[in-house]
Amino acid sequence: MKTFLQTLFSGEVPATLSAPLAGVSDEAFQRILRDCNAPVISTEMIPTASLAKHPKGLPKILRWYPGIHPINAQLFGYSAEHMVQTIDLIRYLQPDIIDINMGCPAKKIFRNAAGLALMNDLPRATRIVRAVRSSFSGPLSIKIRLGVQPGDFRAPDFARMAESEGVDFITVHGRYRTTYSQPADWDSIAAVRDCVSFPVIGNGDIFTLEDARNLIKRTGCNGVMIARGLLGNPWLPGRIDRFFRTGVIPPEPTLQERLRVFAQHLDYLIQQYGERKGILIFRKHAAWYLKGFRHVSQFRRQIFTLTRPEEFYKLVIQIVLNDALNPRTD
Ligand SMILES: Cc1cc2nc3c(=O)[nH]c(=O)nc-3n(C[C@H](O)[C@H](O)[C@H](O)COP(=O)(O)O)c2cc1C
């Protein structure tokens, strides 16, 4: 029988992974992605230092909907010991992939020598990878950027290190510690692809099926990871996967499907957090879901004042009607 990794990197069909998104990839989002046929789903990054210090806090800290597979559990931290302790704590959830975050530029994390700061410290990164590899025999990946300072291209060294330490694949986000205003550098991702023999996943600026196909063509990567493209569009990874498999562009989700997922996402959030907090969190998702409708900008402010599920449903009907009744004139 083929292992999960053999299936993921079958050779002909590029893999499609959904990215970890802090503040977004909670249980509700994992369930929505599963409902929309995303092939591989990620947890939010899991704080290994907090869990190592407060293992009893696990139920509160961990946002992981049990039973969703394949699931990529992303860990962040600065200590090999913390990573290994965390893996022991989450083993019962049977992660299909353990991923080590070496790309998060957030100040709080970078200052603590974790996330992207690890790309300034190859020996520490190597120690972490070695320790995790010896405690977890399943699929292991690391997620990196091109480097820290623009032009200081360290990704090839990290990719080679990962390969020689027995990591199974690597994801490369084609940016340095720069903002999204700069496009992802797919040519540098291609250079990383070329310097190792194990699978490389390309990440950065995939919002459409064509973007996914172009990244694969341009870089020769073994798969794509989608991040911001998931926001308000949880169907994207499933559609990309189908496109990769068949070469045929699958239909866009119907209006009925879009409304169903909109309501379902709110419902999942309320199940997870209770009504008050669930609704507060849903506001940003609602704005993302509704972005595609015409003339929606006039409703944007209103979305952020809604306090009851029924208000979201009413507003969405108003927006859909407004879209239908006021075709674009340009
Ligand atoms: C809101 C948000 C949260 C993110 N959280 C994480 C995270 O927890 N772990 C991680 O490795 N990357 C995180 N990222 C980075 C993305 O996974 C991805 O590498 C980056 O956004 C580039 O992909 P994109 O151009 O498709 O968005 C986050 C990005 C965003 C926008």
Tens of pLDDT, residues 203-256: 999 999 999 999 999 999 999 999 999 999 999 999 999 999 999 999 999 999
Stated length of the chain = 330
Enclosing domain of residue 305:
255-325
155: in domain: yes
Whether 229 is in the pocket of ligand 1, judged by its Cβ within 6 Å, is yes
| 72 lies in the same domain as 170 | yes
82: in domain: yes
The candidate with the shortest Cα–Cα distance to 104, out of 72, 140, 144, 141, is: 144
CATH number of domain containing 143: 3.20.20.70
330: in domain: no
Whether 32 is in the pocket of ligand 1, judged by its Cβ within 6 Å, is no
| 242 lies in the same domain as 265 | no
Q: Which helix (H) or strand (E) holds 100?
A: strand 97-102
Before 70, cis peptide (omega within 30)? Answer: yes
| Rounded (10°) angle between helices 255-273 and 275-290 | 150
| 232 lies in the same domain as 289 | no
Whether 227 is in the pocket of ligand 1, judged by its Cβ within 6 Å, is yes
Mean pLDDT of 6-31: 95
- If pLDDT is split at 50, 70 and 90, which confidence band does 329 have? low
| 114 lies in the same domain as 228 | yes
Residue nearest to atom 6 of ligand 1 (CA): 21
pLDDT of residue 177: 96
* Domain boundary, last residue among 195, 228, 246: 246
Å from CA of 20 to ligand 1 middle: 6
Interval 20-53: pLDDT, tens: 999 999 999 999 999 999 999 999 999 999 999 9
CA distance 13 to 211: 16
| 262 lies in the same domain as 235 | no
195 catalytically annotated: no
138 in Cβ contact with 96 (< 8 Å)? yes
| 301 lies in the same domain as 171 | no
Residue nearest to atom 5 of ligand 1 (CA): 21
265: in domain: yes
CA distance 200 to 120: 21
* Domain boundary, last residue among 206, 223, 246: 246
Q: How many domains does the chain have?
A: 2
CA distance 252 to 257: 10
pLDDT of residue 323: 84
CA 221 to chain centre: 17
pLDDT of residue 193: 98
CATH number of domain containing 300: 1.10.1200.80
Residues 6+ apart with CB under 8 A from 128: 77, 79, 80, 83, 100, 118
Whether 40 is in the pocket of ligand 1, judged by its Cβ within 6 Å, is no
* Domain boundary, last residue among 196, 221, 246: 246
| 164 lies in the same domain as 298 | no
CA distance 42 to 29: 10
Residue nearest to atom 9 of ligand 1 (CA): 20
